[in-house]
A and B are shown apart, each in its own frame.
Chain A
Amino acid sequence: MAQPSFETLLPRLGESFGATAEAAEAMGAMGDPRALPLLRALNDNRLGRTADGRLVIDGRDALTGEAAPSPAELLRINNRVRVALRGAMGRLAIVSPDAAERAAAAEAVFRTRSAENVPLLEAALAREALPDIRARLELALGASRLISNDPAGQRAGVAALAQAGTADARNLLLEVRASRTELAAEIDQAIAAIDGKLAFRRAAETLFQGLSLGSVLLLAALGLAITFGVMGVINMAHGEMVMLGAYTTFVVQEALRSTGMAAWSLPLSVPAAFVVTAAIGVALERGLIRHLYGRPLETLLLTFGIGMMIQQSVRLVFGAQNREVLSPAWMQGSLLLPGGIAVTQNRLWIIFFALAVLVAVMAAIRFTRFGLQMRAVVQNRRIAATMGIRTGRVDAATFAVGSGIAGIAGVALSQIDNVSPNLGTGYIIDSFMVVVFGGVGSLLGTLVGAMTLGLTNKLLEPYAGAVLAKVAVLVGIMIFIQRRPKGLFALKGRAAE
């Protein structure tokens, strides 16, 4: 077959998915630098074709760069074309002067798994100086050699893949195992070596997932640990405070959307959510809840009703549809820790954030004047009052802090859950569970309780499934509470009364 020229391949782009994929592959094999911007535009859905057959990118002719007058119809691609494009772009970009592009290209060539890439990769490896990209190139070269027909190369390929020790490498080794019977022993050995690394990695990742779930529970429960744990108000509207915090994040994001502050919308949402929910908390406490102190059943009904009203109001104002809260770039994707452990950025931030909030709250209670007054009122309201503390004001402030922390939790939850009017309902049960399990009135108990529940849940999940794991945790808590009704960290002495 005659080698097709770059020009003859152009009309085939967009003909059908199969033809487009083949043309892209051929362009990648040719190594013509003109193809790269073209294929990139096709991959990003920006490449169009005019009625007279000219290729256009963003209103300019794709080859000459001059303005194209006639309207163009964008070329469509599917996953098969994307796979071909990734391979072709990888081959073309592997000589790029930009390090990030070369790294991505090495990754793309690895995934393409074509024996034809061996000379290309060898040449690239000879030029490459950066160790990180060299490692990627070696992995890609190993993969390509494994597929090639050269036995010595195949052996080197197995060794390179075993060295990389990733799930992708394991996948490739398994793929070729059946067709390389003479290498079966080496391949099995390599797979066993990779499995050892993967088992460690998986254990570390499960631990991270447990900590992450624990930190979410901790955030959701912290506010309740104050309103319910410290003040004793059975606050069924707690979940709605969390939800309001999430909606505040949405409002802040929309308000800053077209300004230069857009990147700061998430950090700015934290104080905003605190202020909004704390203000609502004060209004609720002063207007309604304080009239029902000492009447837990009525408080439960009242706060439950308030929760429903808040939920429905949000639905009327914002609609029943979920609202989209964007994640900033630093909260997207995964972070690769040493040892190949991948942790998702958003969850990692939330763990730190939860701990920071916990420390801040504990410090406020321990070291500030307000914290002292609050503890005094909780321990003995009458004596605190005779000492000149205005207990009513302290109650309002305590409830405001509890509500405000719930609002802050909403900011974090907007990054991992849906911002919908029902957001809070999903967390209210879990929050009560954490507070009761940890010991009512103990912030440390809330921390330990949340982490215990999170870890137990994630350790059980692979064996029992998500539904049964949750059931098992609930059963466990029921049994525990029967044995120790005051939870993990029971308050002792006069403070407990």
Chain B
Amino acid sequence: MKTLHFGRRSALAAGTALALPAVHSASAQAAPIKVGVLHSLTGTMAISETALRDTVLMMVEQQNAAGGILGRRLEAVVVDPASNWPLFAEKARELLAVAKVDVTFGCWTSVSRKSVLPVFEELNGLLFYPVQYEGEEQSRNVFYTGAAPNQQAIPAVEYLMSADGGGARRIALLGTDYVYPRTTNRILRGFLNSKGINDANIMEEYTPFGHSDWQGIVARVKAFAAQGVKTAIVSTINGDANVPFYRELGNQGIKAEDIPSVAFSVGEEELAGIDTRPLVGHLAAWNYFMSVRSPANTQFVSGWHRFIGNTRRVTNDPMEATLVGFKMWAQAVTAARTTAVDPVREAMYGQKVAAPCGYELEMHRNHHLSKPVMIGEVQADGQFNIVWRTQGPIVAENWSPFIPENANRRR
């Protein structure tokens, strides 16, 4: 087993989690339950995924403080797949075959999830995937605690088309060039066509990971918006390419009042490295914002600040999804009285957790959660002001009706 630690504080946290089982106390005589953590701690995705590793470590610590599960302690096994998609599969195999973990929390990009999927199915592992994604997938070995397109992308575009959102009838789809943006935009194109917005009113552009020179694209969006129809931007730009993108929007004088943009991969964590004043009014769609007011969220945020030792650190949607997945798994293990994958999977269906987003979320047999959708506006302090939300949680449609070849797989 190889365990990597980065950052003094988290190394300490992981260290305690690993060191404690060696001490034979009365409550920890049984072998520990092993929790795998498969998030990139180096490379381009480290900016987003490091916080998820810390969230899992926090949950393990909290669960151990509450006496573990089934009288057994939890032990985190952290590996670093280094934003390298094939390495994700190798590290997944290492976790399942060598470390023999009982459950794994991991992955951010869809390409990394696609990479580990065959490994988890072959070795019958259990993966909790905490990020919004493009759907068109359902594995018995994966529980998806992020949003499917109908729980994020489609409501967000509906909002842009509504009176409150500005009544956009012309949409620029900008994304990073990989499977999630391309599939999501395909679904959105189908949706927009069904709403009477034809292809002439849709612009679609892709850029590589880490793209920093947005001047040409932003200028083209401006020209696209000058056709006498209210225009909006839908961004599936991922990772830190968002920072220069928003900076360019600000510098070229695009205001949210004129051309609003809604982003699906920009959260509090991504805004942490950026001057948000020019971005006030631009939108993001998620299922959770740090600014949600609920008792569960207060507890989540204060627990996070205590664990990380810095009250300026933010929480975000994928962190909340990690927390919800972890709690559900702990409940399912308790109900099944074992950590074996097959009984735990059965016990997962119908599990409910009072989530920080302010609602009770339920795991359905399609391995997806019901989730509320929220639209937030960027504020000058880097937080989101929630301007719209659904009445309650909505059920995931992981097989989109707008992808014809898979639509018949829905139930």
A residues adjacent to B (C-beta < 8 A): 17-18, 45, 76, 78-80, 82-83, 86, 111, 167-168, 170-175, 177, 198, 202, 205-206, 209, 212-213, 216, 312, 315-316, 319-324, 326-327, 332-334, 342, 344-347, 416-422, 426, 458, 461-462, 465-467, 470
Distance in angstroms between the alpha carbons of A423 and B206 in the assembled complex:
21
Q: A82-B256, A319-B7, A416-B244 in contact; A462/B42 too (CB < 8 A)?
A: no
What are 13 A-B residue pairs whose CB atoms fall within 8 Å in the complex?
A18-B164, A79-B377, A171-B228, A172-B228, A205-B219, A212-B213, A216-B213, A320-B41, A321-B273, A323-B273, A327-B275, A418-B240, A465-B205
* 5 more CB-based (< 8 A) A-B contacts, given A323-B273, A344-B248, A461-B216: A78-B377, A78-B385, A111-B258, A167-B226, A466-B217
Which residues from chain B contact A86 at a C-beta distance below 8 Å? 257
B81 adjacent to chain A (CB < 8 Å): no
Asked whether A79 lies within 8 Å of B42 as measured between CB atoms, the reply is: no
Asked whether A344 lies within 8 Å of B251 as measured between CB atoms, the reply is: yes
Per-residue interface assignment for chain B, residues 205 to 245, with 1 indicating a CB less than 8 Å from any chain A CB and 0 otherwise: 11110111101110110110111110000000000100110
Asked whether A467 lies within 8 Å of B6 as measured between CB atoms, the reply is: no
Asked whether B272 lies within 8 Å of A80 as measured between CB atoms, the reply is: no
Distance in angstroms between the alpha carbons of A189 and B302 in the assembled complex:
63
Distance in angstroms between the alpha carbons of A322 and B281 in the assembled complex:
23
Please provide the chain B residues from 157 to 214 with a CB less than 8 Å away from any CB of chain A in the complex.
Answer: 163-166, 177, 205-208, 210-213
Which residues from chain B contact A421 at a C-beta distance below 8 Å? 46
Please provide the chain B residues from 329 to 357 with a CB less than 8 Å away from any CB of chain A in the complex.
Answer: none
B250 adjacent to chain A (CB < 8 Å): yes
Distance in angstroms between the alpha carbons of A34 and B8 in the assembled complex:
55
Which residues from chain A contact B258 at a C-beta distance below 8 Å? 111
Distance in angstroms between the alpha carbons of A202 and B223 in the assembled complex:
9
- Cβ contact of B216, chosen from A18, A332, A466, cutoff 8 A: A466
CB nearest neighbor in A for B274: A324
B260 adjacent to chain A (CB < 8 Å): yes
Shortest CB-to-CB span from B280 to chain A, Å, is: 8
Asked whether A320 lies within 8 Å of B50 as measured between CB atoms, the reply is: yes
B403 adjacent to chain A (CB < 8 Å): no
B70 adjacent to chain A (CB < 8 Å): no
B47 adjacent to chain A (CB < 8 Å): yes
CB nearest neighbor in B for A336: B253
CB-CB nearest 10 A-B residue pairs: A174-B228, A322-B273, A167-B226, A320-B46, A175-B228, A78-B387, A344-B251, A417-B212, A171-B226, A466-B207
CB nearest neighbor in A for B276: A324
Shortest CB-to-CB span from A405 to chain B, Å, is: 20
Please provide the chain B residues from 242 to 283 with a CB less than 8 Å away from any CB of chain A in the complex.
Answer: 243-244, 247-248, 250-253, 256-258, 260, 269, 272-275, 278, 281
Which residues from chain A contact B404 at a C-beta distance below 8 Å? none
Q: A316-B7, A342-B252, A422-B43 in contact; A458/B228 too (CB < 8 A)?
A: no
Shortest CB-to-CB span from A166 to chain B, Å, is: 9
Shortest CB-to-CB span from A326 to chain B, Å, is: 6
B379 adjacent to chain A (CB < 8 Å): yes
Shortest CB-to-CB span from A413 to chain B, Å, is: 8
Shortest CB-to-CB span from B202 to chain A, Å, is: 15
Distance in angstroms between the alpha carbons of A320 and B240 in the assembled complex:
12
Shortest CB-to-CB span from A286 to chain B, Å, is: 29
Asked whether A458 lies within 8 Å of B216 as measured between CB atoms, the reply is: yes
Per-residue interface assignment for chain B, residues 10 to 31, with 1 indicating a CB less than 8 Å from any chain A CB and 0 otherwise: 0000000000000000000000
Shortest CB-to-CB span from B15 to chain A, Å, is: 16
Asked whether A467 lies within 8 Å of B207 as measured between CB atoms, the reply is: yes
B63 adjacent to chain A (CB < 8 Å): no
Which residues from chain A contact B41 at a C-beta distance below 8 Å? 320
- Cβ contact of A320, chosen from B6, B212, B380, cutoff 8 A: B6
Asked whether B42 lies within 8 Å of A466 as measured between CB atoms, the reply is: no
Shortest CB-to-CB span from B346 to chain A, Å, is: 38
Asked whether A315 lies within 8 Å of B222 as measured between CB atoms, the reply is: no
Shortest CB-to-CB span from B49 to chain A, Å, is: 9
Per-residue interface assignment for chain B, residues 30 to 62, with 1 indicating a CB less than 8 Å from any chain A CB and 0 otherwise: 000000000001111011001000000000000
Distance in angstroms between the alpha carbons of A265 and B206 in the assembled complex:
35
Which residues from chain B contact A426 at a C-beta distance below 8 Å? 210, 212
Which residues from chain B contact A205 at a C-beta distance below 8 Å? 219
Shortest CB-to-CB span from B376 to chain A, Å, is: 10
Which residues from chain A contact B257 at a C-beta distance below 8 Å? 79, 82-83, 86, 111
Shortest CB-to-CB span from A134 to chain B, Å, is: 22
Distance in angstroms between the alpha carbons of A172 and B210 in the assembled complex:
36
Asked whether B211 lies within 8 Å of A168 as measured between CB atoms, the reply is: no
Asked whether A174 lies within 8 Å of B166 as measured between CB atoms, the reply is: no
Which residues from chain B contact A419 at a C-beta distance below 8 Å? 273
Which residues from chain B contact A346 at a C-beta distance below 8 Å? 251
Which residues from chain B contact A316 at a C-beta distance below 8 Å? 6-7
Asked whether B247 lies within 8 Å of A17 as measured between CB atoms, the reply is: no
Q: A79-B166, A79-B260, A418-B273 in contact; A467/B247 too (CB < 8 A)?
A: no
Which residues from chain A contact B228 at a C-beta distance below 8 Å? 170-175, 177
Asked whether A332 lies within 8 Å of B240 as measured between CB atoms, the reply is: no
- Cβ contact of A470, chosen from B208, B212, B253, cutoff 8 A: B208
Asked whether A315 lies within 8 Å of B248 as measured between CB atoms, the reply is: no
Q: A213-B213, A333-B253 in contact; A324/B42 too (CB < 8 A)?
A: no
Asked whether A324 lies within 8 Å of B273 as measured between CB atoms, the reply is: yes
Q: A171-B227, A216-B213, A422-B43 in contact; A315/B6 too (CB < 8 A)?
A: yes
Asked whether B220 lies within 8 Å of A321 as measured between CB atoms, the reply is: no
Which residues from chain A contact B44 at a C-beta distance below 8 Å? 422
Distance in angstroms between the alpha carbons of A435 and B47 in the assembled complex:
31
Q: A171-B228, A174-B228 in contact; A344/B215 too (CB < 8 A)?
A: yes
Distance in angstroms between the alpha carbons of A346 and B215 in the assembled complex:
11
- Cβ contact of A326, chosen from B46, B50, B275, B281, cutoff 8 A: B275
Shortest CB-to-CB span from B39 to chain A, Å, is: 11
Which residues from chain A contact B207 at a C-beta distance below 8 Å? 466-467
Asked whether A332 lies within 8 Å of B165 as measured between CB atoms, the reply is: no
- Cβ contact of A466, chosen from B46, B47, B211, B260, cutoff 8 A: B211
Q: A76-B385, A344-B251, A417-B244 in contact; A209/B206 too (CB < 8 A)?
A: no
Asked whether B240 lies within 8 Å of A420 as measured between CB atoms, the reply is: yes
CB nearest neighbor in A for B206: A467
Asked whether B164 lies within 8 Å of A78 as measured between CB atoms, the reply is: yes
Asked whether A322 lies within 8 Å of B47 as measured between CB atoms, the reply is: yes
Distance in angstroms between the alpha carbons of A461 and B379 in the assembled complex:
33
Which residues from chain A contact B43 at a C-beta distance below 8 Å? 422
Distance in angstroms between the alpha carbons of A312 and B269 in the assembled complex:
21
Which of B213, B217, B222, B247 neighbours the largest number of chain A CB atoms within 10 Å of its CB? Answer: B213
Q: A174-B228, A322-B47, A332-B250 in contact; A167/B222 too (CB < 8 A)?
A: yes
Asked whether A344 lies within 8 Å of B260 as measured between CB atoms, the reply is: no
- Cβ contact of A321, chosen from B47, B164, B210, B223, cutoff 8 A: B47
Which residues from chain B contact A462 at a C-beta distance below 8 Å? 216, 220
Distance in angstroms between the alpha carbons of A426 and B211 in the assembled complex:
9
Asked whether B251 lies within 8 Å of A322 as measured between CB atoms, the reply is: no
Which residues from chain A contact B387 at a C-beta distance below 8 Å? 17, 76, 78
Q: A78-B377, A333-B251 in contact; A322/B240 too (CB < 8 A)?
A: yes
Distance in angstroms between the alpha carbons of A345 and B248 in the assembled complex:
11
Asked whether B212 lies within 8 Å of A418 as measured between CB atoms, the reply is: yes
CB nearest neighbor in B for A87: B257
Which of B215, B217, B228, B229 neighbours the largest number of chain A CB atoms within 10 Å of its CB? Answer: B215
Asked whether B166 lies within 8 Å of A467 as measured between CB atoms, the reply is: no
Which residues from chain A contact B225 at a C-beta distance below 8 Å? 167, 171
Which residues from chain A contact B177 at a C-beta distance below 8 Å? 467
- Cβ contact of A209, chosen from B208, B212, B215, cutoff 8 A: B215
Shortest CB-to-CB span from A147 to chain B, Å, is: 13
Which residues from chain B contact A80 at a C-beta distance below 8 Å? 163-166
Distance in angstroms between the alpha carbons of A458 and B206 in the assembled complex:
15
Asked whether B215 lies within 8 Å of A212 as measured between CB atoms, the reply is: yes
Distance in angstroms between the alpha carbons of A342 and B229 in the assembled complex:
23
CB nearest neighbor in A for B209: A426
Shortest CB-to-CB span from A391 to chain B, Å, is: 39
